[in-house]
Structure 1
Amino acid sequence: MGRVENKVAVVTGGAGGIGAAAARLLAANGATVVVTDLAEAPAPDWEETGAALYLRQEETGAALYLRQDVTREEEWTRVLDAVIDRFGRFDILVNNAGVGFRRSVEDTTLEEWRRVMTVNLDGVFLGTRHGIAAMRRAGNGGSIVNVASIEGLIGDPELAAYNASKGGVRLLTKSAALHCARARTGIRVNSVHPGYIWTPMVARSVAAAPDPEKARRHLASLHPVGHLGTPDDIAYGILYLASDESRFVTGSELVIDGGYTAQ
């Protein structure tokens, strides 16, 4: 039996990076996985992700790719209604979609601030709100995993909006977890806080540096283990929180950062 056998999962921002890794691992452990992303057509990473999902689920054709803008409330309704209509249940939501933005508080414009908040915080709020409602309707309880960051735990002088958005995800998660627990919904809500992970987002940031190799070595040096993490490092944490193994875990923050925040 897989660790999430017979469960139905939705992973936002799942066409690449951490989202794609989480989708692959959930599928490999028995879940029916619905991947959503902003692109009308799947991004290049989806070819690999989709192959892994369909390899397991080719007989049922269960794995789906759906376009979704997580900042639009009506799209949450459309996606989750489609999931329940097709599969009859909804057990796991991974709120992974997000954007990175490097700028100090003085240099950040209001428009830039609002863009980061809309995707990183509003999107998670909408996902959590509608995810809880859909899970309650399906009647099986469930697990919501919100992907935050170590930047939701510590400050960085060049990440004002990103710090604020990910810090908001952390406390929103705790509030939602308490609400669900006290209402006896059977729904758990937790956050995951990655260190620097070698994803397309981080790779683009490094490539834009005057000396990309030096920039990569610097990022790696920030972690006591001496190297950057991989998407799979985070996906295994997501799998644990999504599974019944973590049935006594809610309102928690799982830090996966190579020792970054232990310093």
Structure 2
Amino acid sequence: MTSWESYIKEYKSYLKLERGLSENTIANYAFDVEKLVTHLENTKQEVSPLKIDEQALQGFIYAISGVVNARSQTRIISGLKSFFKFLIFEGYRETTPLELIEIPKVGRKLPDTLSTEEIDTLIGAIDLSKNEGERNRAMLETLYSCGLRVSELVTLKLSDLFFEEGFIKVTGKGNKQRFVPIGTATQNYIVLYKDSVRNHQAIKKGFEDTLFLNRRGSGLTRAMVFTIIKDLAVKINLQKTISPHTFRHSFATHLLENGADLRAIQMMLGHESITTTEVYMHLDRKHLSKVLNAYHPRNH
């Protein structure tokens, strides 16, 4: 199976250099192909990635269907499709053996969201008498008003703030950068945190440009932000399981419910595909009825 190893190695280089994917994502893609290789070895099928056919792939998918759920099957098949598209792109194959293989239908899990009242109550529970209170309020306001991932929040820099233009520069997955609008109120919370807390603390070397700092003057971890939010949820007795990502879900949902364009939301969230953004279209029936009544010509 050494031929597989060389093609997988080339594939990983392609994902890194051409697609700009993170090491973790690349490892996941490669792991999907390695599962297929392991199956071929176990079933003593000596076939190269250039000669493998639909029948062999069907056998693999049948084998994994007995040990993984439909969602995992979907992810593995998607990973394999990506690999064979790469082989076609590089001229190694003319067709993909997965052309006629269907991906199992999986019901998408709708993300949890918070109402604006719940977000206000959560942020309102922050103890502003402590130094970290101003920081935590600025962080949560930024999470919600800009729809950031927690990794994007903790790596946000002072040099990423373009308040005069009303934007922040965000570095997302695969080091892809985007500019996201930031409201005046959130800008004010960040300025207040900087002026009253950050500018008065000792900052460790290497974190001079990091916006949100811990008490020791270095960057916050994603786990610390998660803990801050969990503690606030307990404090207000919130009966929902939430995380930093809940603020991102709420950002997208509230924009959509108030009439924002899905394409604009996609750009602000930094989603590569519009289908990723469409998961937020879980509006209630009442809201959809209002939209239909307001905009469909037969209802005028």
- TM-score range for the pair, normalised by the shorter chain length: under 0.3
Please state which structure has a larger fraction of its residues in strand.
1
TM-score by length of 1: 0.23
TM-score by length of 2: 0.21
